[in-house]
Amino acid sequence: MSAVQVAWLPDGRLHLNHGPIDLVIGIFGAERAVAAAFGRAIARFDGLLEELVAELPALRSPKVLPLQGAIAGAMAAAVAPHRPAFITPMAAVAGAVADAVLAALVGPGVARAYVNNGGDIALYLAPGQVLRCAVAQAGVPGLVTIRHSNRVRGIATSGWRGRSFSMGIADAVTVLAANAARADAAATMIANAVDLPGHPAISRRPAVELQADSDLGARLVTVAVGPLTQAEVALALDRGAQSAKALRARGVIAGAALFLHHEVRILGQMPLAQTPEPCLG
Amino acid sequence: MTGDKIRCDACPVMCYIAPGQTGACDRYANAQGRIVRSDPVVMLSRAVEAGGRLVPFARPDWDGQLVTPEDAFVTGIGAGTTYPDYKPAPFIVASKVAGADMVTVVTEAIFSYCGVRVKIDTDRHLGPEGAVVRAGGEAIGLVTTAEYGSQMLSLGGVRHLTGGSKAEGRATCATELALCNGEAVELAIDGGAAVVVQVGAAPIVNGVCEARMRVGCGSATIGMFASGWRGLVDEVVVVDDHITGVVSEHQAGKVLGWQPTGIRIKGHRSTPGRYFQVSEPGLGWGGTKLTDPLEILGPWNPDKGARPGLTLLMVSTTGEDHGYYVLDEALVAQPRPLPESLRATVRLIAENCEPSLCSVLFSAGAGGSLRAGVTRNPVRLTRSVHVGITRLTCGGAACFVWPGGGITFMVDVTRLPPGAFGYVPTPALVAPLEFTLPRADYLAMGGHEGAIRSLAQIEAEGAEYATAGQVQPWPGALP
């Protein structure tokens, strides 16, 4: 069985891999503090997957079951606001892992840091610090600027083109929230809501036919989206925007950007700048 | 049960993958029933990093071989055997190892004397020591001495293979074979649990998959985590079937200045803060039969520090079970929700537990007649193995050889390639075996010099199964 893989990227970022988890971590601050913080991140990552696997059946269940681990608990908390709709704690796994590693690495002398778990990003900002993150989609190179005062510490993206399955047709939904787990779960749910049920141009297959032990079971997930009229795109985005709006009104998310076929809807706090700057994630 | 899905063991997620699909990582896929990597392997860069030798390929002079003779080690897997054994073993191979002229004698040995030692990482009570272990209702072994955090089974062996009924022998052989080849087996222990065992996988005890091995005994758990509880709770009891620890009385607590609480534990006090036999072995808290940990507490003593409002954490050695209590006016412990600050300490115990696994060692005696396939002086081979001149390997895997007489060895079955073990209907197990030693030593011990062949010859000619030992009719006997 493979163990944790630790690799340094040429620009000083850290790449951690274990099984399905890939983290890219950037830490900024005093040299010694950064080195120590990377050490803490690696230490936290060691054994993290085993911790999740120990409770995998409960994490894949839509039922509310007792959970032991800290990350499992964070996953459950992140998906709770979306019930009674169908959701399992796995909808927040990537974000919750990013949050956990970020929490472990923060320490004295760290000015800012991010843990990017395949597009689900947990952020740390010391007072006065700013972090810019590119949200590029279908020719819309946008930049999100997160400040210490923003209270946003999680960014997550979901959509049928991504690695996880989606029941909706959004190319991508990017969500800003208080932490990455919350953003992850909300992005999943909003992306599911961007949909045109029964539309002939949309191909769907049961999730189990694509991945035998998917937590989505026999539920249909999107595998292809054909051409849609402008009105259809608008209708699908409206449905997603409605879901995002409701989540924002309840304080679950801070903002969201919904992308479908070159159309974008932006809700709430999603300060997109059009200046292309280097992406930190 | 899972159709044609296969289980990927590349990482702890252990995905079931159907043909044509990938696992959760998108890196491993099921291609025609085999797990394959779906992205480029990094073996070449690894080999360079490790200073390994590269074999240039696709050049005009490339002979198409991936493995060079210097890298080759012939194993006994699929070698076959030569019975009766005075005939030379089927493969006696000469090769150069670090400049020395080495001879490897390769055979597949038939082991009547063989068994498996199974280590099951759990504190759950699987059965009393000495209890009979059954497969398909047949006795195939017994529960033996427990190890630290693990239960041990000793299965197979000659008395079950050939010393009992035919059904017993068949069940024993099938179980040993399955365990050695990495398959799951269901075992039932008399007066104990039903357990599913598979090497490298978590044990399933009475239908419940074990997650964690204990972090240590109750006393060790106190020693490891006492400082983290300081200031958060007045008393901590770590419930463990072996040694239950009490922080206020334990040396670790004393050093930290923990105050006496007047707690009373039922059980045999070993040294301060360490208690044996607080309950009986079982499937409950910390390998005891407890479901309510308060059962192990006697009345609290107000003269020794017990007072209303005193707080108590009780936790198992895996962190799986825990309870928080506050003493009421009558000094009776009343359950209360676990405060968040203490929840972190319970998680820390859980975090420090290793995953619970089954491991299997194949144990067998190679001291019999198969030695004659190696040399005409069998005892010289035994001596050579014991002094370390001859290296014994099983399918290429290093073996531990028991001191004392004979060649009784043990090998971790996961070190052998898949499917390396076989059986004969005797019943007995068949396992590969290789004896490797310098050529000069081989000749000195009376080795079959005439049967030594080079790797190239072996590749060209295959095995040598002598046929001269045919039974001839007695002169003058009737046909």
pLDDT, one tens digit per residue, over B355-404 is: 999 999 999 998 677 787 778 788 888 988 898 888 888 888 889 999 99
Does one domain contain both B364 and B440? Answer: yes
Q: What pTM was estimated for this model as a whole?
A: 0.51
Predicted confidence (pLDDT) per residue in A178-221, tens digit: 999 999 999 999 999 999 999 999 999 999 888 888 889 999 99
Same domain? B173 vs B93: yes
* Nearest-CB residue to A1 (from B5, B12, B350): B12
Residues B329 and B236 in one domain: yes
Same domain? B285 vs B328: yes
Please check whether residues B366 and B455 belong to one and the same domain.
yes
- In this prediction, residue B156 carries a pLDDT of 95
Question: Is the confidence at residue A281, as pLDDT, over 50?
Answer: no
The verdict on a CB contact (< 8 Å) between B320 and A19 is: no
Distance from the Cα of A28 to chain B's closest Cα (Å) equals 28
Range of the domain at B124: 66-213+354-466
Task: Centre a 10 Å sphere on the Cβ of residue B305 and count the other Cβ atoms it contains.
Answer: 16
Asked if B351's CB is within 8 angstroms of A212's CB, the reply is: no
Query: Is there a contact between B15 and A2 if contact means CB atoms under 8 Å apart?
Result: no
Residue identified by tokens 């039903």 is B194
Tell me which residues of chain B, numbers 9 to 68, contact chain A at a CB-CB cutoff of 8 Å.
9-18, 21-26
> Does the structure show a pLDDT above 70 at B474?
no
Nearest to residue B178, comparing CAs of B422, B415, B417, B2? B422
Q: Does A5 touch chain B (CB under 8 A)?
A: no
- Dihedral sign computed on CA atoms, order B414, B415, B421, B426: negative
Chain A nearest-CA distance from B355, in A, is 7
- B189, amino acid identity: I
Sheet holding B150-156, edge to edge: B208-209, B204-205, B194-197, B185-189, B132-135, B138-147, B150-156, B114-120, B358-365, B408-412, B400-401
pLDDT of residue B173: 93
For residue B136, tell me if it sits in a domain: yes
Question: Which of B332, B348, B364 is a domain's end point?
Answer: B348
Look at B13 and A211 and tell me if their CB atoms are within 8 Å. Answer: no
Give the pLDDT confidence score for residue B427 in this predicted structure.
86
How many structural domains is chain B composed of?
3
> What fold, for A5-273?
T-fold (3.10.520)
Does the residue B44 lie in any domain?
yes
Which residues of chain B are within 8 Å of residue A104 when distances are taken between CB atoms? Answer: none
Q: List the structure tokens of A17.
A: 């891999």
Contact (CB, 8 A) for A114 and A38: no
| Residues B196 and B122 grouped into a single domain | yes
The pLDDT score that the predictor gives to residue A133 is 74
| pLDDT of B43 higher than 70 | no
Output the average pLDDT for chain A.
88
Which residues, other chains included, contact B85 with Cβ-Cβ below 8 Å and sequence gap of 6+? B369, B370, B371, B372, B373
Angle at B113 between CA B109 and CA B118, to 5 degrees: 100
Residue with tokens 């991508």: A172
Is B59 inside any structural domain? Answer: no
What span, in angstroms and rounded, lies between the C-alpha atoms of A32 and A40?
Answer: 13
Contact B89, B82 (CB under 8 A): yes
**Cβ neighbourhood burial of B216 (10 Å; 0-12, 13-18, 19+):** buried
Percent pLDDT > 70 in chain B is 80
Omega before residue B19 within 30° of 0, cis = no
B26, two tokens: 């998108």
Kindly give the pairing relationship between strand B91-97 and strand B453-454.
parallel
Higher-pLDDT residue of B177, B469 = B177
Q: What is the pLDDT of residue B26?
A: 78
B19, B142: one domain: no
Most confident of A255-259, B140-144, B240-244: B140-144
B225 and B201, same domain (yes or no): no
Q: Are residues B45 and B77 in the same domain?
A: no
Query: B236 and B288 share a domain?
Result: yes
Task: Please identify among residues 203-262 of chain A the ones whose CB lies closer than 8 Å to any CB of chain B.
Answer: 209-213
Q: Are residues B102 and B144 in the same domain?
A: yes
Same domain, B106 and B207: yes
